[in-house]
Each structure stands twice: as C-alpha cells, then as structure tokens.
Amino acid sequence: MPKSDIQLIKQRFSIIGNSPELDRALEIALQVAPTDLSVLITGESGVGKENFPQIIHQFSHRKHGTYIAVNCGSIPEGTIDSELFGHEKGSFTGATGERKGYFEVANGGTLFLDEVGELPLSTQARLLRVLETGEFIKVGSSKVEKTDVRVVAATNMNMIEATRNGRFREDLYYRLNTVPIYIPPLRKRKDDIPLLFRKFASDCAEKYSMPPITLTHDAREMLMDYRWPGNIRQLKNITEQISIIEQVREITPEILKHYLPAEEVGMIPLSVNNNDAKSFSNEREILYQVLFDMKKDMNDLKKIVHDIVSGNINPVDNVASLNNLPKENVITPILVKGSELPAAIVDKDQIRSIIPAVRVDADDAKILDERDYEEQSLSLEDVEKDMIVKALERHKGKRKNAAKDLKISERTLYRKIKAYNLENL
C-alpha cells in the first residue's frame, strides 16, 4: 500500500508516528475494512486502540450505517446482556418497557466491543452465536431475531492466557481473532515520542493561549528512555502538566525528572531480571500462594524452636544471623521446664518478636503451639473475604481503588462483594 495513503489516514484520524509496526497495523486495518471479517485489536492500555475501529468503519461499505462503541468492562454483569441484546418488558425487576440492544440498533453498521476480555462467560456464549449465525434472543424473550453487524473487538488482556485459565471461551477467541491487529506500546516506538510530545504541547499552547514548551537535547533523550507504562495517554497528561505548571518554556532534564514518576502503576524496571518472578492469573491463585507461604513460615519457626530446645543450635548465634544483629543485641530465650513462657527473641532497640510462645513438656520435650497445636484448615473463602474487607477499609469504600489493590477487575470485585454480603462497606 502506498505510504501516501497511510499518511492521509494519519492526518484524518490524528494519528502521530512513523513506527513500522504502527504503519503495518494501519495497512491491515485498511485492507480488512471492505470485508465483513471480525477483527481483534490487541495492545496495552493507552496505545490508541479506539482509533482503529473507526478507521475500519469509515473505509467499509457500512460507513453510512450506525457505529457504536461499547466498553464491556464498565457495564455491570447483571445488565450487560440487556445492553447488548435488549430485553422484553417485565423480564426482570425494573424492566418497565421493551428495550433495543446494541446489536439491534447497530444493524447494518459496526459495533466496537472494547475490553471484550471482561465479558462474563454467559454473555460470551450469546456473542458467539451472533457472530456465527447473526441470531440473538432478547432477555426475557423466546423469539429469535436477526442482525447484520460487523464486530470489531479490542482488549489489553493476554487472551491466550485467559483461554487457558477458563476466563474466556476459546471458540469465541478464534471467532473474534479472524484478523488480528497489534498496536505496539510507546516504548517500542521511541522515535515517535518527541513527535507526540510536540503535538500535545502545541495543542495545549493553542488551547490556553500560551507559548509551547520545547525540550533540550538531554531532556528529549530522557523522555525517550522512559518506559511509559501508561503509553500515549500518560505522555499526553505529563505534557499538559508541564505546559500549565512550568514558567520556563525550555524543559531541561532537571525539570522533566519531577514529572516522570520512578514508581508507576504497571511499572517494571527494564534492568530487573524477572525470570524468577511469579505471575498470577486470578485472585484465587494469589490466595493459595499466601496460604502456602504462611504455612511454610510457621513450619520454619517450629523447626527453629525445636532445634533450640533440643540443643542442636545456639539460639543467640541463630537469631543474630537471621536478623543481621550483633550477638550483644540478642536476648537469649528462657525455656522453663513444665511451664509456658513466651520465647521472644528481641532486638534491644527495636523489640521484635521472632518465635511464638512455646511450652516444653517435661516428659518428652515436645514443642507444642500455644493454640492447641493442631493443624487448622483455613477457609479460602474466609481469607478472600477478609482481604476484600481490608482493601475496602484501606480505600474508604472506593471499589475502583480496592480492585486495583487486590489486582482484580472491578467486575470481579463487585461479584465478590455481592457473594459475601459486603454491600454496606
């Protein structure tokens, strides 16, 4: 495809950059536009995925039809079927009238499903049927209806991993992924970063009637070396911040570094070796890992106490080495035969408790835990509920922040809150 066509598309849709990967994504979008094939757009959050469905729609034979963009992650699970497929009057509480869904409204046009990976499994089954047969049934109805809609989907989720974990239907993934389009992150388009900065600075200067900011050579290099976890969205925010706050119009590295956070959401230092890092696909795996770690720590502590009582190790040497303390700072635990005393090993300055309270049996010197010394099976649901309650308390009931803290989606958090009757928190 001629580069002149690509440049015209960039100008029309305000796309900045000359990256080969970006140009390739635009070429695929233009080539697939005249067809009715489903398209799946993938890429990190903030890379500009929302531009491509509009390009596909405008260069298709459906350009005079309806174009609807739907954020699947922002619609509650209980109402998403009604939003997409419509409902009949009285089909559920609050359904005071018949409602057309997006698939019916967008008949003959294009439907953009953003964050499609957040769809619940029941809705995924309905969506698969529409894609394969063009048929759907409204909520509360038994009548099969037809629609002719071009579906373009987008996600920042690893869909292969999601299908393996059962969070997304494999057959739906391959049906959506008829034509894949990958949008590269900003860190893989380093030469485009100064161009985007200049564009955002110019727009901000024009909007607020001020001189545009510029970068020194060193500041430009610093800007290009930053990882940009928030991609274009983050770059735009920072450019606007600098434009409004700074009085000096030439930005140096000393000024710029105050606006580039060292620790950012999703930030992974490039120099760190993450070969041994563990990733968790859902909150249940995280809870399992927490339980396993707690059990291991308790077993380690019991072994240390047992070795001290048996005389196998010197408690002062052992604790000093474990806590990087000088021997003179360690108070030796006193274990009295036939009695219970808290065997606390403390730093004289910091008073840290290392070993739980123990009892030495006079007959066989068995080490018994203070809590009846029986293995208690910890309910996974109780731990999960406790973590959710604490997260909500930490963030004063703000569920969006609590979901980020727990590393789960807002949809999942809402479902858990309802399951554990925590709506009043």
pLDDT tens for each residue of 366-391: 444 444 434 444 567 788 888 888 88
pTM of the full structure: 0.61
Q: Average pLDDT for residues 51-69, to the nearest whole number?
A: 96
Q: Where do we find the tokens 């037809």?
A: 146
Q: Which two tokens stand for residue 319?
A: 């604790």
Tally Cβ neighbours within 10 Å of residue 283.
19
169 and 118 within one domain: yes
Q: Answer yes or no: is 362 within a domain.
A: yes
DSSP assignment letter at 117: G
14 and 159 within one domain: yes
Tally Cβ neighbours within 10 Å of residue 59.
16
Residues of the chain with pLDDT > 90, as a percent, come to 56
pLDDT bucket at 311, cuts 50 / 70 / 90: low
CB 113 within 8 A of CB 157: no
φ, ψ of residue 135 in degrees (nearest 5): -110, 150
239 and 108 within one domain: no
Lowest mean pLDDT among 116-125, 204-213, 393-402: 393-402
- The last residue of one of the domains, among 184, 209, 241, is 184
- The last residue of one of the domains, among 184, 214, 238, is 184
208 and 142 within one domain: no
Strand positions, DSSP E, 131-228 = 135-137, 144-146, 150-155, 179-182, 214-215
Q: Average pLDDT for residues 286-313, to the nearest whole number?
A: 70
pLDDT at 284: 55
pLDDT at 65: 95
- Is the pLDDT higher at 208 or at 278? 208
Give the C-alpha separation, 165 to 216, whole Å: 48
pLDDT at 405: 85
396 and 364 within one domain: no
Tally Cβ neighbours within 10 Å of residue 296.
10
392 and 358 within one domain: no
pLDDT at 377: 47
pLDDT bucket at 404, cuts 50 / 70 / 90: confident
Q: Which residues, in sequence order, are CB contacts of 250 under 8 Å at separation 6+?
A: 213, 214, 215, 216
Q: Are strands 340-341 and 358-360 parallel, antiparallel or unpaired?
A: antiparallel
Q: Answer yes or no: is 277 within a domain.
A: no
pLDDT at 1: 65
- Is the pLDDT higher at 127 or at 361? 127
232 and 96 within one domain: no
Q: Are strands 367-369 and 358-360 parallel, antiparallel or unpaired?
A: antiparallel
Structurally, how many domains does the chain consist of?
4
Give the C-alpha separation, 221 to 149, whole Å: 46
User: Does residue 271 register a pLDDT over 50?
Assistant: no
User: Does residue 298 register a pLDDT over 70?
Assistant: yes
Q: Position 164: which residue type?
A: R
Q: Answer yes or no: is 279 within a domain.
A: no
Q: Answer yes or no: is 281 within a domain.
A: no
Q: Answer yes or no: is 317 within a domain.
A: yes
pLDDT bucket at 120, cuts 50 / 70 / 90: very high
CB 332 within 8 A of CB 318: no
Q: Answer yes or no: is 247 within a domain.
A: yes
43 and 13 within one domain: yes
CB 344 within 8 A of CB 353: yes
Q: Answer yes or no: is 424 within a domain.
A: no
Q: Position 147: which residue type?
A: T
Looking at mean pLDDT, say which of 197-211, 284-298, 398-412 comes out highest: 197-211
Instruction: Give pLDDT tens digits for 321-364.
Output: 545 555 555 444 444 444 444 444 444 444 444 444 444 444 44
pLDDT at 276: 39
344 and 245 within one domain: no
pLDDT at 324: 52
Q: Answer yes or no: is 119 within a domain.
A: yes
Got the DSSP string for 225-256?
HS--TTHHHHHHHHHHHHHHH-S-SEEPHHHH
Q: What interhelical angle do 410-419 and 380-394 show, nearest 10?
A: 120
110 and 71 within one domain: yes
Residues of the chain with pLDDT > 70, as a percent, come to 75
Give the C-alpha separation, 265 to 261, whole Å: 10
Best CA proximity match to 244, nearest among 214, 208, 284 = 208
Q: Average pLDDT for residues 136-162, to the nearest whole number?
A: 94
CB 331 within 8 A of CB 345: yes
Q: Which two tokens stand for residue 317?
A: 């040497």
Give the C-alpha separation, 241 to 50, whole Å: 24
User: Does residue 260 register a pLDDT over 50?
Assistant: yes
Q: Which two tokens stand for residue 123?
A: 């809705």
CB 59 within 8 A of CB 30: yes
pLDDT at 119: 95
Instruction: Give pLDDT tens digits for 65-118.
Output: 999 999 999 999 889 999 999 999 888 877 888 899 999 999 999 999 999 999
329 and 309 within one domain: yes
- The last residue of one of the domains, among 229, 256, 283, is 256
- Is the pLDDT higher at 197 or at 414? 197
Q: Which two tokens stand for residue 270?
A: 């490039």
- Is the pLDDT higher at 145 or at 423? 145
pLDDT at 376: 45
164 and 75 within one domain: yes
Which residue range forms the structural domain that includes residue 333? 300-369
pLDDT bucket at 396, cuts 50 / 70 / 90: confident
DSSP assignment letter at 75: S
